[in-house]
A and B are shown apart, each in its own frame.
Chain A
């Protein structure tokens, strides 16, 4: 699986958009970009995933650059409950392949 690089920490004001970057310059054509988050040592929670098109769901938007070497997770209106560690993971769609977690980005949302 391709390696990802994320900033160790970011801050965001409540109500503002949180933009979390991820670099995955060695991504290959069959690898997807996944985002998970972990709130205060709970089990990780799925947020969104994409291959090459931008994706949006009720939680967030995922913007993938045209060359697919980087992506940005956008939380449009961050709340205090969005304070968590966010993991960007690149994985090929192969049956049974486990998610490989790095250290992620610690997002702190403050009022």
Chain B
């Protein structure tokens, strides 16, 4: 299994540009999450999904959109990028069932908005 993969690894955007951060997991996990991490801070939840076709907002959803058309993919869309969105973005997934299981994280996408 590749686990959770994210693309791109790095990206520089100009203010007002848009982009999509890709996230894919091959573990058949039903729950997926997007976090952002600003320098020296902990991770903050942006959006999450409990299954294909179902998404919900986290702590800091403004300026972002998500979709979940398949179990494997959970892309994060940035519209009208702003300098405040400069951050490292992590995607994560977990399989929720009767047993507790660990939450797996991707390697992150480092985004700079200038």
User: A residues bordering B, Cβ < 8 Å?
Assistant: 32, 41-46, 49, 87, 93, 95-96, 98-104
Mostly helix, strand, loop or mixed at chain A's interface?
A: loop
Chain B proximity of A74: nearest CB distance (Å) = 19
Would you call A103 and B58 a contact (CB within 8 A)?
A: no
7 contacts between A and B (CB under 8 A): A43-B106, A43-B107, A44-B92, A96-B96, A99-B103, A101-B44, A104-B42
Would you call A42 and B48 a contact (CB within 8 A)?
A: no
A42 to B42, CA, bound (A): 13
Mostly helix, strand, loop or mixed at chain B's interface?
A: strand
A86 to B16, CA, bound (A): 36
Q: Tell me which of A43, A46, A95, A98 contacts B58 (CB under 8 A).
A: A98
Q: Which of B1-43 contact A (CB under 8 A)?
A: 4, 31, 33, 35, 37, 40-43
Q: Which of B61-102 contact A (CB under 8 A)?
A: 88, 90, 92, 96, 100, 102
Would you call A32 and B50 a contact (CB within 8 A)?
A: no
Chain B proximity of A37: nearest CB distance (Å) = 11
Number of interface residues, chain B, beta carbon within 8 A: 26
User: B residues bordering A, Cβ < 8 Å?
Assistant: 4, 31, 33, 35, 37, 40-45, 48, 50, 58, 88, 90, 92, 96, 100, 102-108
Would you call A96 and B45 a contact (CB within 8 A)?
A: no
A43-B100 contact given A96-B48, A98-B33, A103-B42, CB 8 Å threshold: no
